[in-house]
């Protein structure tokens, strides 16, 4: 099965991608993993990407696409894959469609993890990070009564990107970039939405249920 996973920040994409890929016995391919592998491996594309990142610039689409092309052409991705974090916009989606067509392949399904904005804010703005061991706690889900880490006793703090105003800005950016992408895949007839609220195991069950009709 060839599928793309989309959803807002805080929807649990990373966690669900891991479970779903494992259940389907296909590789989970994220742009973050691809970037790290290329940079640490010293590939030509990795050096090029690093030159942009070192300057604080965004890595151009064509470099990202070239990395994705290389990864999808590897042996383990020939019978299927789960893409997480790519495509991020309609131009990237069109490139992916053309790339797969060139190889005589198509996407089977795009799984959209659906979570409303207030739930995303609740999940992300409630996170606290330990200043000593780096462990993440949640003021609500972990029933925290103080601002100390239960594991090492370190002081807990709220990261800037977990503050409510930052989370809401990230959601605005996501809507601007990804709403057209969701519409694109809906028009292609391969978009399926899954309610991503509730326990992780329940979301995975819903996702696998949604994928069942597409499993070869």
Half-sphere CA count of 158, side-chain side, radius 13 A: 15
Marked catalytic residue, from 88, 97, 148, 205:
88
Active site residue 163: no
3-class SS of residue 1: coil
State yes or no: is 159 an active-site residue.
yes
The whole-angstrom distance between residue 65's C-alpha and the CA centroid of its chain comes to 16
Catalytic residue among 148, 170, 205, 206: 170
Nearest to 196 by CA among 186, 207, 185: 207
**Given 2, 71, 127, 128, the catalytic residue:** 127
**Which of these is catalytic: 2, 13, 123, 128?**
13
Q: Could you tell me if 182 and 193 are in contact, meaning their C-beta atoms sit under 8 angstroms apart?
A: no
Q: Are 65 and 95 in contact (CB under 8 A)?
A: yes
- Active-site residues: which are they? 13, 88, 127, 159, 170
């Amino acid at each position: 099965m060839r599928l793309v996973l989309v959803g807002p920040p805080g929807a649990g994409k990373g966690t669900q991608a891991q479970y779903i890929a494992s259940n389907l016995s296909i590789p989970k391919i994220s742009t973050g993993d691809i970037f790290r592998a290329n940079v640490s491996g010293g590939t030509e594309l990795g050096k090029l990407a690093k030159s942009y990142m070192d300057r604080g610039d965004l890595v151009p689409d064509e470099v990202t696409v070239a990395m994705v092309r290389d990864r999808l052409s590897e042996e383990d991705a020939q019978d299927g894959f789960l893409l997480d974090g790519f495509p991020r916009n309609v131009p990237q989606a069109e490139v992916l469609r053309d790339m797969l067509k060139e190889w005589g392949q198509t996407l089977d399904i795009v799984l959209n993890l659906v979570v409303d904005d207030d739930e995303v804010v609740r999940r992300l703005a409630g996170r606290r990070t330990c200043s000593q061991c780096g462990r993440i706690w949640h003021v609500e889900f972990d029933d925290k009564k103080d601002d100390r880490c239960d594991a090492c006793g370190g002081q807990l703090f709220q990261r800037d990107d977990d503050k409510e105003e930052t989370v809401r800005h990230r959601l605005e950016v996501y809507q601007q970039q990804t709403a057209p992408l969701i519409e694109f895949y809906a028009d292609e007839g391969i978009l399926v939405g899954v309610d991503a609220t509730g326990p992780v195991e329940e979301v995975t069950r819903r996702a696998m249920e949604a994928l069942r009709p597409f499993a070869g």
